[in-house]
Each structure stands twice: as structure tokens, then as C-alpha cells.
Structure 1
Amino acid sequence: MHAFRKLVGTELKVTVRDAPVALVAVIFPAAIVAIFGAIAKPGESSDPLKYFYQPMSLAMGIGVLSFSLMATEMATYREKGILRRLATTPVNPSRLLGAQLVTNLIIACAAVIAVVLLGSLAFGFPWPGDALAFLVTIVLSLGALLGIGTFIAAVAPASRVATGIGVGFYFVNLVLGGIFVPKEQLPAALSNIGDYSPLGAMLAALRQAWAGHWPMPLHLIVLGVCAVLFGGLAIKLFRWE
């Protein structure tokens, strides 16, 4: 356990020193909330779309952290031979992947706190209406998105491959998940497909929780399945080189 804590501490220091990671994962979603807060003035509005902006910003920020930044960093380790050298030490794949997962989980939680506090205190966005539903959704969403990112990191042979897979998957989710355009304005077929995408399920469940309702079981199931499936595959298929 002591060795794992040291590994997490090292990974966290490396990640925090990488300014783009902090910028994209934490500042980017907070900036989106600030921009839409200044434009939409949610404190004075009864439009149900006021429950859209904070979930949307979290889906975008945590999505790019998981699918692109984390996956690319681990693939870079493999490309530079760092993982091959670690293979000669007692550090096993599950411990290394666990340290990466915990590190990015801390960053993702910082993004959640920043978005909720900034949006509600500074711009009048509503607080999550159902606290339990919000917490359950956040836990499942982080498990799903970081699980997928860990899977990409585990199997991508090079940083360019990881970036290509992650960015491609990210933008497909943005389109299908109702993030670029709210799902109410999407064609019915695309909206239905988006319910089965991780970012789409996350966004829909968070919107329900923010509005004070329990999310649809479908969205929670999608997130849970993604977390278990891709997390397990990441450990099973991990390659040192």
C-alpha cells in the first residue's frame, strides 16, 4: 500500500506539472460555465436548459481528460520505454493503471467541484436538485469515462495512436450524446443512439439529477457497464511494450 501511495504521488506531481492537463480538465469546463452563465443569466431564467450547461461542461472536460489526455500520457510512457523498464520492477500493470486512475480521478473531482461552485455561487446556476442522484451519477460517470481512457491507454502502442483513438471517440460522443446540440433538438434516431454512448448517458443522467429527478435506469446501467467492462479489459490487455 505504501508503494502504491508513492506511485500515486509521483503520477500526480507529473500530471499537475503538465499545464495543459490542468487547463483542459479543470479550467476548460469552468470557463464554459462562466461564459454561458454570463450569457444565459440562469438565476433570472425559468428555461429548463439552465440544467444543461453544467452537465455539458463536465461531460466535455472529463471526457477529454479520460479519452485523450490520460490515454496519450500512458501511451507516451510505453513509446519511450518507461513501461518496459517498470516491467523489471515489482510494479505490476494493475498497480500502475490504478495509480493513473486515482491521479486522474483527483483531477476530475476538482473539475466537478469547480463547475458546481462557480456555476452556483458566481452565476446563479441551480445546485443539483437531488444530491444522492448527483453523487451516484458522478461516481458511475467517472468510473465509465476513466475506465474507457484506461483501456485506450492499456492497448495503444504509441501516443499518436492513443490520441487518434481518444479524440475520435470523444467527438463521436459529443455529436451523438447531445453535447454539441441538446438531445431535444436532435433527430429521434440520433437521440436514441446517444442514450447508449457514455457521454450521452452521463449528460442525460446529470441533467435529471440537477433538475431534482432520479436518472433513467438505462443511463445508469450504460455507465456501470462501461466502467466494469473497460476497466476489466484494461487490466487484462495491458502491454508493457
Structure 2
Amino acid sequence: MSALARLTVAETKLFFREPMLVFFVLAFPPLLLVVLGAFPALREPSADLGGARAITLYLPIIVTMGLALFALNSVTQLLATYREKGVLRRMRTTPVEPHVLLGAQLLMSTIMSVATMLVLLAIGRVLYDVGLPRQLPAYLIAYLLTALAMFAIGLLVASVAPTGKSAGAIGTLLFFPILFFAGLWVPRAEMNDVLRKISDFTPLGAGVQSLQDAAAGHWPQPLQVAVLLGWTIVAGGLAARYFRWE
């Protein structure tokens, strides 16, 4: 096995040794979808949503929430903790460069988040008759762009946070407003013009709209792609500039 593969396996084992982290990033999104689906009003067509069902709109929101949990909680805390404890510094004295550990962490998080997405799509289809994405390639591209943007933000948080606890605190502070503009509390279709315009330029706002468009059979709009790439480039560039190995 390559160093990246071995480290990915090791990081996965370490990840599953943190039960609270495992619960919130893997189990909480499916559980939230099941809870929301238990409300009959969310399973019925709504005139306020143009005849759409709220549970159909919430599915991509919860999919992106799973990404946000990985990016702003798991990745940020683990990498900041590794730097705080000197793990990254010690790795620089071995044949395995620290950036391989960084790649393993991102690879593990991506695999886990994709698995969560598949579980959510299955729950939506089996329990609530939510159709699978009509434009699957577009859905996967939208998911990838959203993942890139969120992981870039997570790496930026890990770059500037001095400790694992502070990284978790910063990630939590970012998590709630980002989820608000994704439509978790107020669906984008019910937002006023000002909030919807702000949402259009947030990573999860653009990501949710892209996933919803793909689920309906359309490709992401140029604005959404530009917003997601913009967050990836800016946050990723700042993360590369300020990331410290020790």
C-alpha cells in the first residue's frame, strides 16, 4: 500500500475512536432527515413552495450540512490538534511528508461524506418517495464543487486556529450562519429578496441551489459555479498561505 493509502486507513481508524464526532458527522444528518420526514406537513405539497414538498427541498440542504460538519468540525479540529501536539512537526523527520497526512485526512473525509450523501438519498427515496437526481452527472459535479469550497474553508480555519479547541469553536461559529443561508431554518424559496441574494453568494447557498437544480434535471447555473470556485480559490489560497506545520 502507498503511504497515502496507509495513512487514510489509519486516519479512518482514529476517526472512529471519537464517538461524539462520529455521531455528529455521520449519524446526525440521516437522523435529522428522518425526524423532519416524520412531520406530515413536510411531506405534503406546499403552496408557499410552489407546489413542492418541503422534504424534497430539505434533502440537499441536509446533504450539504453533512459536508459542513466534516469541513468545519472534523477536519479543522483534527489538523489543528495534530499541529498543537507536534504530530505534523515530527512527521517532517520521517520519509512521509506532512502534506501526505493532510491528503489522507481530506480523502477520508471525502469518502465518509459521500457515504453519508448516499445514505441520505436512500432514506429520502425509500421512506419519503423523494426522487433520485434526474441529472446525476450534474449532481455529482455540484457536490464536488461544494465539497471543495467547504474543505477549503475548513483548511483555512485549521490554518489560523492555534489549538484544536479554538478550531472547533471557530468552526461552530461559522457553521450556524452558513447553514442558515443554506436554508435549514428558512428554505431559500421562503427567504425575502435580500436574504436570498446573500444566500446566493454563500458556499452552501450556492451548493444547495446547484444540487436542487441537478435533482430537477438541470445543470448548475454559471453564478453558482463561479461562487463555489471563488470560495475554493480564495479560502484555499489563504489556507496555503497561512497554514503552519508546527
Is this a same-fold pair by TM over 0.5? Answer: yes
Q: TM-score under structure 2 normalisation? A: 0.89
Q: Which residue of 2 aligns with 1:159?
A: 164
Give the drift of 1:110.
Answer: 0.9
Contact kept, 8 Å, 1:71 with 1:162, in 2: the verdict is yes
Give the drift of 1:41.
Answer: 7.4
| Structure 2 residues without counterparts, runs of 5 or longer | none
Matched, 1:213 2:218: yes
Residues 188-211 of structure 1 deviation map (CA, whole Å, 9 limit, x = unaligned): 112111111111111111112222
Contact kept, 8 Å, 1:179 with 1:200, in 2: the verdict is no
1:1-241 correspondence runs (5 A): 2-40=2-40, 45=45, 47-48=51-52, 49-241=54-246
Q: TM-score under structure 1 normalisation? A: 0.90
**Which stretch has the larger CA shift, 10-19 or 192-201?**
10-19
Task: Name the CA shift for 1:133/1:168 in 2 (closer, same or farther; >3 Å).
Answer: same
**Which stretch has the larger CA shift, 156-165 or 82-91?**
82-91
Letter in 2 for 1:173: I
Distance in 1 of aligned mates of 2:181 and 2:105? 28
Residues 131-152 of structure 1 deviation map (CA, whole Å, 9 limit, x = unaligned): 1221111111111112221222
| Identical residues among aligned pairs (%) | 35
Letter in 2 for 1:38: A
Letter in 1 for 2:63: L
| Structure 1 residues without counterparts, runs of 5 or longer | none
Distance in 1 of aligned mates of 2:36 and 2:43? 12
Task: Name the CA shift for 1:160/1:21 in 2 (closer, same or farther; >3 Å).
Answer: closer
Contact kept, 8 Å, 1:24 with 1:65, in 2: the verdict is no
Q: What is the root-mean-square deviation in Å for CA atoms of aligned residues?
A: 2.1
Residues 123-170 of structure 1 deviation map (CA, whole Å, 9 limit, x = unaligned): 212211221221111111111112221222233211122112211111
**Which stretch has the larger CA shift, 62-71 or 219-228?**
219-228
Give the drift of 1:234.
Answer: 2.9
Distance in 2 of aligned mates of 1:17 and 1:36? 29
Letter in 2 for 1:19: P
Contact kept, 8 Å, 1:175 with 1:181, in 2: the verdict is yes
